[in-house]
Structure 1
């Protein structure tokens, strides 16, 4: 990521906190929002979101200092597994595809950072393919709006003022969607 240092640190703090929370949920009962998908899918989702949150924090701070091949294995391999799982099983397909898109986006950003010149990144200079970056920005911007609207809407259609059992995981998903959007925006 190339952008203001403060933004990188704030993004790292936000995504690391979200990732740590998802990691802590692995040993617990799935929240009400994920219970419909079944315990196995909820834990799969928690593991994927923990990996994504902690990985986004590491990429925001370390970025190009880590070899691209490590980022590719860390995010590309699980993305392919999610794609295969979504093709094989209809249960939780949308969530698995979302995790696959996230993993592939992280892989794309790592490869774009590796291909960028090591020195002299000027403001306004972009890395990666503009069309792909734009499509990913649209996806994660839309996902963030969707996640935010689901965070605010209570089952009765009223705005929820508290973060109940289902609210905090939704807030983490919103934070990670916004984090991904911010990382793509600074490419």
Structure 2
């Protein structure tokens, strides 16, 4: 993506770290989480590769077409998985956004140009609105909620919680960490769309 080098490297680091965490989440015992984490890892590493500042390593024209093909296949896979509902529709939108950015970058590898007039292209604007709403919703979901009563542990005479049979999920299975991961990728997607 075109833009200043320092923010570009920060974006690369954020996306690569998110992709690495998603790879670790693939060790989950829950099949659906493994599948979702795999798609998110691909997205994180793909975004990291696309965010490398052009002044450092300007990819050849065919690389952008390769990104478009990889994320087109990822969009089709997510669309197939979306038949069961869940988070897969967001993956479809994200993969399609990556295809769109790759096609735009392939069409204008050395400079920015606006498609047909002044202002933001309609598709870019729609993606910016979608990912802004997604980031706000994801951030809202990370806000702490009041402790839930009626957990599986029992309270002793002092009112302190005694250990119960409940098993604490591993750090890779914790929902707040996967939400933070998705929030990071949503923010990175916004940053990439703004520089488009």
TM class, shorter-length: 0.7 to 0.9
1: distance between equivalents of 2:126 and 2:86? 18
Structure 1, residues 62-107: CA drift from partner, whole Å, max 9, x if none?
6761522210222110101211222xx33xx241110011001001
Shift of the 166–100 alpha-carbon distance from structure 1 to 2, 3 Å rule, reads same
Question: Normalised by the size of structure 2, how large is the TM-score?
Answer: 0.76
Tell me if structure 1 keeps the 8 A contact 2:4–2:53.
Answer: no
2: distance between equivalents of 1:177 and 1:24? 19
Find the structure with the greater CA-based Rg: 2
Q: 1:106 aligns with which of 95, 98, 104?
A: 98
Over aligned residue pairs, what C-alpha RMSD do you find?
2.2
Structure 1, residues 109-160: CA drift from partner, whole Å, max 9, x if none?
00000001x43x26xx446971000000011111001111111133649xxx
Output aligned runs, 1:11-160, within 5 Å.
11-29=11-29, 39-61=30-52, 65-66=59-60, 67-86=63-82, 89-90=83-84, 93-116=85-108, 118-119=109-110, 121=111, 125-126=113-114, 130-154=121-145, 156=147
Aligned length: 164
* More helix per residue: 1
Q: Which runs of 5+ in 2 are unaligned?
A: 149-170
1: distance between equivalents of 2:3 and 2:193? 11
Q: Which runs of 5+ in 1 are unaligned?
A: 30-38, 158-163
1:132 aligned counterpart, secondary structure: helix
Partner in structure 1 of residue 155 of structure 2: none
2: distance between equivalents of 1:26 and 1:152? 25
